Amino acid sequence: MLAQEIIRRKRDGHALSDADITAFVRGLVDASWSESQSAAMAMAMFLKGMDSHETIALTQAMTRSGSVMDWSHAELPGPILDKHSTGGVGDKVSLMLAPIVAACGGYVPMISGRGLGHTGGTLDKFDSIPGYNSTPNTQQLRKALQTAGCAIIGQTDELAPADRRLYAIRDVTATVESIPLITASILSKKLAAGLQGLVMDVKVGNGAFADNLPMAQALAQSLVTVANGAGLPTRACLTDMNQILGDTCGNALEMQEALAFLKGERQEARLLSVTRLLSAEMLCLGKLAATESEALARVDAALHSGRALEHFARMVHTLGGPADFCERADSYLAHAPVKIPVFAQESGYVLGIDTRDVGLQVIELGGGRHKTSDVVDPCVGFSQCIQLGHAVQKGDVLAMVHAATADAAQAASQGFARSVHIGTTSASHAAQLQNASPLLQRIHA
């Protein structure tokens, strides 16, 4: 089957057959399709779109392009579940959610990624833990699940190799923003992980990939439709990303916040709401709770009893981290040599935050990547970040900058101050901003 004929069919707006898609995916893996042919195909898919049948076929073909995990012999007495976020600034939910669900009887082999662009990566947060191995072999992964009930790791070379090549092509050909291609990329890895249930957290707002509700709804519906069509029960929640989630952004800082959350020492309201919501969705999807209220009660019990923290500690130790990490995290996590406040330049209420800009400032501090080969500084970022609706006086602290140098700290302080919009409004409107639910919509089918 000639590659150019398959490209021609999609270029002219026709639906591709399963055989066409299989040939394309095989060509990605064995390099029988050249870079130019693969790029042309990605652009044709981007411009002409793909229907749900094509997207399901592409997802399944990319899943089959490598190994598919089989947990039937692991003797795990609970459902295999996962959560995936489309990415946001300060989004550390996975760090708490995986051990919470594990403490409630689920098993969570969470394949996560590194940050690229303005959103942080879950694996980068775990890289701040000395010794933590985010790329274990199958035997180590199985042991982590049996011991801790959860393992937050990176994609191995064996899982969905077609996706890795196609994503690299999309990244340099301006074809990343295609809902069918995004859907196939995310779900091929999740299907390869051998999941029995998946909850998608689709972020919406100025700090998210989907910056408007219609785009987020289309992406969420595509993910749910294709995942269920491919045999993976999936639900989606649309959550707000018009401000930092929690009060930190930056790898070691977010790890510290996650530990404080699991210990019950500090639980920022929106972060708690999103974490409880997504954890409860996973328990209901995995039939570990019959109703949402029962699921939320189980989530709360896992947190308040300390069982979620215990599962987190076991996961870290089983995957190579310190046995006493949770007790002595402050001595293990790196600290920035320079720490300065960001002061409010006027009085009023916080009416808006340019969240994407805050994420970009973390990258400029060294806490993210301009390109995949960049080395990340784990200790830089922002803490004590202000939230929408809060009243401030001129000179109040909006955040604390953690930086490697005084010059970098000063630039980040000025940048953060510019990202926070302070103005006058009624107290009732400010309260609405402060108390708005981060859940925007659920999509279950």
As a three-state string, the secondary structure of 340-394 is EEEECCCCEEEEEECHHHHHHHHHHHHHCCCCCCCCCCCCCEEECCCCCCCEECC
Catalytic choice (10, 64, 83, 125): 83
Tens digit of each residue's pLDDT (9 = 90 or more) over 58-95? 999 999 999 998 888 888 999 999 999 988 899 999 99
Catalytic choice (59, 175, 178, 185): 185
- pLDDT score at 255: 97
Catalytic choice (164, 190, 307, 356): 190
Average pLDDT estimate for 413-432: 96
437 counts as catalytic: no
Q: Is the pLDDT of residue 116 over 60?
A: no
Sign of CA dihedral 311, 316, 317, 322: negative
- The rounded distance, in Å, linking the Cα atoms of 113 and 90 is 15
163 counts as catalytic: no
Assess contact for 414 and 403: CB atoms under 8 A: no
Report pTM.
0.93
Tens digit of each residue's pLDDT (9 = 90 or more) over 346-392? 999 999 999 999 999 999 999 887 666 778 899 999 999 999 999 99
189 counts as catalytic: yes
94 counts as catalytic: no
- pLDDT score at 111: 85
157 counts as catalytic: no
Catalytic choice (92, 118, 189, 203): 189
203 counts as catalytic: no
Instruction: Provide, rounded to the nearest whole percent, the portion of the chain with pLDDT above 70.
Output: 98
- The rounded distance, in Å, linking the Cα atoms of 207 and 217 is 16
Q: Is the pLDDT of residue 396 over 70?
A: yes
Sign of CA dihedral 418, 423, 429, 435: positive
Catalytic choice (84, 165, 235, 402): 84
- The rounded distance, in Å, linking the Cα atoms of 102 and 108 is 7
The ranges of the chain annotated as CATH 1.20.970.10 are 3-49
Q: Could you count the other beta carbons within 10 Å of the beta carbon of residue 330?
A: 9
- The rounded distance, in Å, linking the Cα atoms of 203 and 438 is 10
14 counts as catalytic: no
H or E element: which one contains 197? strand 197-204
CATH architecture of the domain with residue range 334-432: Alpha-Beta Complex (3.90)
Tokens representing 17 are 């057959």
- pLDDT score at 185: 92
84 counts as catalytic: yes
Catalytic choice (38, 55, 64, 82): 82
Q: Is the pLDDT of residue 420 over 90?
A: yes
CA distance between the termini of the chain = 36
Catalytic choice (38, 85, 188, 234): 85
pLDDT band at 119 (very low <50, low <70, confident <90, very high): low
Average pLDDT estimate for 227-240: 96
The ranges of the chain annotated as CATH 3.90.1170.30 are 334-432
Average pLDDT estimate for 118-122: 73
CATH architecture of the domain with residue range 81-329: 3-Layer(aba) Sandwich (3.40)
H or E element: which one contains 182? helix 179-192
263 counts as catalytic: no
Given CATH 3.10.310.10, say whether it is the number of domain 3-49.
no
- pLDDT score at 171: 78
Catalytic choice (122, 128, 178, 413): 122
- Mean pLDDT score across all residues of the chain: 94
Nearest by Cα to 291 from 301, 279, 280: 280
Tokens representing 142 are 């199985």
The ranges of the chain annotated as CATH 3.40.1030.10 are 81-329
If one compares 98 and 164, the residue with the highest pLDDT of the two is 98
